[in-house]
Amino acid sequence: MSWISSSRSTLGRAIAMVFILVPTGTFIGCDDDGQETQSIPDMGPAAADGMGPIPNPGDAAADPDASAPAPADAESPAPAEAGAPNPGDASSPSVMDAASTVPVPVDASSPAPMDASAPNPMDAALPNPMDAVPPNPMDAAPAVDAAAPGEPVRLFLMAGQSNMEGYGPIAAADVGDWAFSISLETLLELGEEAPRIQEPRDDVWVAFPHGDNRREAGLLAPGFGANPSFIGPELGMGEVLGTVSEAPIIMYKAAHGGTTLGADWRPPSAGGETGPLFQEMIDGFRAYRDDTLATVFPEEIQARGVELAGFVWLQGWNDQFEDGFVAQYEDNLVHLITDVRAVLERPDLPVIIVEGPTLQEELRAARRAAIARLDGQQPGRTVFVETEDLVEEEIPGNFHFHFSARNYLEVGRRTAEAILEFLR
C-alpha cells in the first residue's frame, strides 16, 4: 500500500458549508442539511569539450631524458655483440609493447619483427574517449519504460463527485472573492505555470460524457472541468502522464456533483438497491471502450488496442450529511472497488483513491481502513493520494479545494505520480 502526499505546510482541515456564488453564474452550496448542491448554467470555452588526442608513446624519442648524452656515439663500435640492437641508432624503427610505454629499439640490420607490409598499430592515433560527448539524460523526457511503437493506449476510468468534475477557474474573472482562490490565467501571469499548460496535447485525450460538460472526446486542454470555464484533476494528471508515457493516454470522467457512495454510487455487492450512477458509469465506460473509440480516434490509435490502466476515485463529501453513510463508507468503498474490478474483468486493476476535502475524521479513517483491506486482497494494487494539506484553512462553504486552479493542478499531478508507481 502506498501513500502519496506533499511536504507543503498547510493549516486547517475542516470545512463548514454555506452557499457559494461564483461570478460565472455557477451556484454551489448546501441545502438545510449541509449537503452540496449546485446549479451550473452553460458557459463559454475559455558536451563537454574534448581534451585532444591522447599522445602516442611510440612517437616520442627513445631516450626519456632529452638533456642526457646519447648512450652511444654513432662512430663508436657497438657496445653489444654484433647483430644486437643498437639503442643509439636513430634510424632504427621501434616496436611498442602494447602494455608498456617504454620503446624497444631494433637495429636496422636485425630481422624485422613483423612483416613490413603489415600495418603498424602505433601509426594511427589512439582514440580519445573524451572526443565522444556522453548523452545528456535531460535531453529526452523521462519514460516509464522503453515502450515499443504500437504499445496499447492507456485508458483510465475516473469517477466521483464535484471535486472530480473540477472547479479550478481558468479566467481571473471567475475566481470570486474566496481566500486562496486563484485562476489558471493568474498562475500563467505569475510564471508559476508554463504557457504549454494551456495548449492542447496531441498524446492525451479526455472524455466527459456525464454531468453538465458533456464531451465524447477531445485533446487535453483547459476546460474539461464542471463546465468549460473550469479545470479538474485531469489537466495536471494528463500533463504528467503524457510527458512520461510512450503510449497515448485517454481519461474517461464519470463524475456527478452532490452525490453519495451510500446511495448514488452504491455498488451491487454492498446489498440493497444498486446506485444508478454505478450502473451508468459501467455501461457508459464499456460502450466508450468497445464502440466509441472506434469512431472518434484515428486509425493508428485504434490499431494499438486499449489497456485499462487504472481506476481513480475522488468522492466522499456528501456522505457526511446522510445518516449512517460515514459508518458504512469503509465497507461501501471496498465493495465499490471489488465490483469495478469484477465487472471490468480486471481483478488486479490498479486503483487510486484520492482524498477530497473532509469534515469528519471518521470519514478519513474509513478511507484508510478500506485501502488496508483492499491491499490485503490485492497487495500493491491500491494507492491513496493525500490532499488534506491543500485545504489550507477552514473557509465556510469552500469545499472545492478553495476554487484554486493551483490546487486542482496539484491534485492531478499527485494522482499521476501515484499511477506511475504501477507503471514503473
CA distance 367 to 186: 34
The 8-class DSSP code of residue 182 comes to: B
Give the span between the Cα atoms of 389 and 386, in whole angstroms. 8
151 or 48: which leads in pLDDT: 151
C-alpha 356/C-alpha 417 separation (Å) is 17
**3-state class (DSSP) for residue 144:** coil
Residue where the block lists cell 603489415? 118
Longest dimension (CA), the chain: 121
Q: Are 234 and 218 in contact (CB under 8 A)?
A: no
pLDDT value at position 59?
42
Q: Are the C-beta atoms of 356 and 314 separated by less than 8 Å? A: yes
Q: Is 0.75 surpassed by the pTM of this model?
A: no
CATH superfamily of 2-41+151-423: SGNH hydrolase (3.40.50.1110)
Query: CB atoms < 10 A from the CB of 370, how many?
Result: 22
Q: What is the pLDDT of residues 290-339, one digit of tens each?
A: 888 888 777 877 788 899 999 999 999 999 999 999 999 999 999 999 99
Strand partners, 169: 230
Place of cell 472526446: 217
Bridge partners of 37, per DSSP, are 29
Q: What is the pLDDT of residues 144-176, one digit of tens each?
A: 344 445 789 999 999 999 999 999 999 999 997
| Domain ranges across the chain | 2-41+151-423
- Mean pLDDT of the residues in the chain: 74
C-alpha cell at 420: 506511475
Cα radius of gyration rounded to whole Å, the chain? 35
Rounded Cα–Cα distance for residues 261 and 325 (Å): 8
pLDDT at 211: 61
Count other Cβ atoms within 10 Å, centred on residue 85.
Answer: 17
